[in-house]
């Protein structure tokens, strides 16, 4: 299965149209392998993006350089997925007995 260890989901708050445009530029940088869960829209509308571990530093530096605020929405995607799988397995085990 695809491994999402160290992947974070950042919630980005673009304050104005220029910042939205900057985030849109990030979208075009294919080598970062970003997965936009909520794409860039109008200022004030949150932008959520899953960032692979290998791109975390680059993305955060980019955002900070341009004064774009963000928070970490999900600290480690894989840990959430593990929890989800555990719940499903637990249900299946109960159903099996």
Q: Indicate the residue among 11 and 66 with the shorter CB distance to other proteins.
A: 11
Output the smallest distance, CB 6 to other proteins, in A.
14
**CA dist., res. 80 & res. 58, Å (int):** 23
Residue 80 in the binding site for other proteins (CB under 8 A):
yes
Q: Indicate the residue among 9 and 65 with the shorter CB distance to other proteins.
A: 9
Q: Indicate the residue among 64 and 83 with the shorter CB distance to other proteins.
A: 83
2 Cβ contact list (under 8 Å, min separation 6): none
Binding part of the chain for other proteins, among 51-59, 62-70, 76-84 by CB under 8 A, reads 76-84
Q: How many residues bind other proteins (CB under 8 A)?
A: 29
Residue 64 in the binding site for other proteins (CB under 8 A):
no
Radius of gyration of the chain (CA): 16
CB atoms within 10 A of CB 49: 25
Residue 87 in the binding site for other proteins (CB under 8 A):
yes
**CA dist., res. 65 & res. 91, Å (int):** 46
> 39 φ, ψ to 5°?
-75, 170
Residue 97 in the binding site for other proteins (CB under 8 A):
no
């Amino acid at each position: 299965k695809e491994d999402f260890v160290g992947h974070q989901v950042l919630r980005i708050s673009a304050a104005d149209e220029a910042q939205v445009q900057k985030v849109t530029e990030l979208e075009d940088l294919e080598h970062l392998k970003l997965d936009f869960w909520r794409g860039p829209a109008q200022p004030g509308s949150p932008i959520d993006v899953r960032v692979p571990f290998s791109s975390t530093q680059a993305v955060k530096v980019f955002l900070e350089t341009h004064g774009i605020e963000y928070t970490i929405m999900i600290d480690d995607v894989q840990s959430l997925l593990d929890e989800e799988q555990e719940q499903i397995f637990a249900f299946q085990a109960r159903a099996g007995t």
